[in-house]
């Protein structure tokens, strides 16, 4: 009878060990997913900063083109070389503005969906947990 008492706690002990391993695994999964989330958020912030920079360049170049265009009209009534120089500057700033707009548009079109990898990993985890239950 004494040996029966010694054997009874074994199933409870096994259940607690299993629960402990499960919670450890679950915490590991959550930790990994949070790290992935952090990485994706950092990438999103970097992408937004680059987009803002190129947008600023495009706006600045466009404003400079307008300014130089106005100067060109004013200089058109003065000596001939001022007009050519002003037109060259307008062309340069228009070119910069067009390139900046194209780069910004390309970045917007090619940006991956936000938190895509994190959501995919969470879906895999959900499917694996459902399969085990």
Q: What is the dihedral of CA 39, 43, 46, 51, to 10 degrees?
A: -160
Q: Under a CB-based contact definition with an 8 Å cutoff, are residues 36 and 117 in contact?
A: yes
Residue 58 in tokens: 């495009």
Looking at residue 102, its pLDDT comes to 94
What's the total number of domains in the chain? 1
Q: pLDDT tens, 59-107?
A: 999 888 888 887 777 777 677 777 777 778 788 888 988 999 999 999 8
* Beta carbons within 10 angstroms of residue 58's beta carbon: 20
Q: How far apart are CA 121 and CA 124, in angstroms?
A: 5
Range of the domain at 42: 2-132
46: three-class secondary structure by DSSP: helix
Looking at residue 10, its pLDDT comes to 56
Q: How far apart are CA 133 and CA 119, in angstroms?
A: 21
Residue 113 in tokens: 């969906």
Q: pTM for the full model?
A: 0.51
């Amino acid at each position: 009878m004494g040996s029966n008492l010694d054997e009874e706690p074994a199933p409870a002990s096994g259940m607690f060990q299993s629960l402990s391993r499960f919670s450890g695994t679950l915490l590991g999964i959550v930790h990994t997913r949070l790290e992935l989330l952090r990485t994706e958020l950092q990438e999103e912030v970097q992408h937004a900063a680059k987009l803002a920079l190129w947008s600023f360049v495009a706006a600045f170049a466009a404003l400079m083109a307008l300014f130089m265009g106005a100067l060109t009209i004013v200089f058109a009534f003065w000596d001939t070389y001022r007009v050519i120089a002003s037109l060259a500057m307008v062309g340069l700033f228009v070119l910069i503005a067009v390139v900046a707009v194209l780069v910004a548009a390309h970045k917007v079109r090619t940006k991956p969906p936000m938190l895509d990898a994190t959501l995919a990993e969470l879906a895999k985890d959900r499917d694996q947990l459902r399969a085990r239950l």
